[in-house]
Amino acid sequence: MSLSEQILSKIKEYQKIIIHRHMNPDPDALGSQLGLKALIKTNFPEKKVFAAGGPVNDLDFLGVMDSVEIEDYQDALVIICDTGNTPRISGAEYQYGAYLIKIDHHPNDDPYGDLLWVDTTSSSTSELIALWARELNLKLTQEAARLLYAGIVGDTGRFLYPATTSRTLQLAADLISTGFDFAKLNQQIDGISVKVARLIGYVYENLICDEYGTGKVILSQAILDEFQLADHETSAIVGVPGRIETVLTWGIFVEQKDGHYRCRLRSKGPRINEVAKRHDGGGHPLASGANAKDLAEVEAIYKELQVLTKEFNYKGE
Ligand SMILES: [Mn+2]
């Protein structure tokens, strides 16, 4: 039995299915979670399917979470989408299910679950769910397609990043052919508030970049207050430095209320996830997250990025 069939047979076996994703969800976390929920509900209408996890913030155009009680986990199948390691799972109750499936495209550093489908060559977890539906010939509604398309668009930067493959585009074409309003969806994903637009201006004005193309921007609490922005709203500016031709790697360091810094690290070539792992984080080779306890650790992370970027300049690897 293929992995796709194994996952399908587990879904058939359980009457209750609870789907989780990672904290601070992005379109791929929600798209894969809610897209899978929509697929199961359409193809197995007799089953109870829940989406569990914390607030979806400004992504509520994709959907909202269900209220799930601890008792619901009894005899339930739990599926975790788009989450590399267990501390990142939103909703600690996931562990009270009867059987656990992991579906993900992050490096499998934390191989949790009874059944795992991890494909790091996939652009997104939403692409894996779309592939799964196609392989099994499941009925795909416009709503399921809209959700999965949102996840693919989100994680590929609208098909811009190198994780985009011909398979990504083929599946995206299949999703669009259901007829949902993809132009409207793209606007919802890509649209920014006036506050965020002003912050983008700040990022371009204040970006520091060395001669090898290592960029950094530090957003202090004072800056967030000045722009009246919450931390989660800063995710919209993560890709901004990368638009500059000479920037090769970069870090966005956002001061949190407790004084530590949330670090978003990005790269166009050098593999930066090992840096993230050394600083309480992890992720993809070209897109990772980390945490720094103070400004000194922010500087340490930046120095490590500089070393990688300099090496890459000379060796191309
Ligand atoms: Mn993802």
| C-alpha of residue 157 to centroid of ligand 1, in Å | 11
Q: How far apart are CA 50 and CA 12, in angstroms?
A: 15
pLDDT of residue 316: 66
**pLDDT tens by residue, 112-149:** 999 999 999 999 999 999 999 999 999 999 999 999 99
| C-alpha of residue 224 to centroid of ligand 1, in Å | 26
Q: Which residues of the chain are modeled with pLDDT < 70? A: 316-317
| C-alpha of residue 160 to centroid of ligand 1, in Å | 15
Residues 119 and 264 in one domain: no
CA of residue 138 relative to chain centroid, distance: 25
| C-alpha of residue 276 to centroid of ligand 1, in Å | 17
| C-alpha of residue 83 to centroid of ligand 1, in Å | 8
Residues 179 and 302 in one domain: no
Among 128, 156, 190, which residue terminates a domain? 190
Residues 134 and 83 in one domain: yes
Residues 104 and 223 in one domain: no
Residues 145 and 289 in one domain: no
Residues 154 and 291 in one domain: no
pTM score of the predicted model? 0.87
Residues 177 and 209 in one domain: no
Among 190, 221, 252, which residue terminates a domain? 190
Rg of the chain on CA atoms, in Å: 20
pLDDT of residue 315: 81
Tell the burial category of 110 from Cβ atoms under 10 Å away from its Cβ (0-12, 13-18, 19+).
middle
Run of H or E residues at 200: helix 194-206
Residue 134 in contact with residue 174, Cβ under 8 Å?
A: yes
Domain that residue 91 falls in: 3-190
CATH number of the domain where residue 23 is located? 3.90.1640.10
- Considering its fold, how many domains does the chain have in total? 2
| C-alpha of residue 149 to centroid of ligand 1, in Å | 12
| C-alpha of residue 155 to centroid of ligand 1, in Å | 6
Residues 117 and 218 in one domain: no
Among 140, 172, 190, which residue terminates a domain? 190
**pLDDT tens by residue, 29-69:** 999 999 999 999 999 999 999 999 999 988 999 999 999 99
| C-alpha of residue 105 to centroid of ligand 1, in Å | 6
| C-alpha of residue 252 to centroid of ligand 1, in Å | 19
Residues 304 and 178 in one domain: no
| C-alpha of residue 152 to centroid of ligand 1, in Å | 8
| C-alpha of residue 314 to centroid of ligand 1, in Å | 31
Residue 253 in contact with residue 217, Cβ under 8 Å?
A: yes
CATH number of the domain where residue 285 is located? 3.10.310.30
Residues 72 and 174 in one domain: yes
Residues 38 and 113 in one domain: yes
Residues 104 and 167 in one domain: yes
pLDDT of residue 231: 85
| C-alpha of residue 222 to centroid of ligand 1, in Å | 31
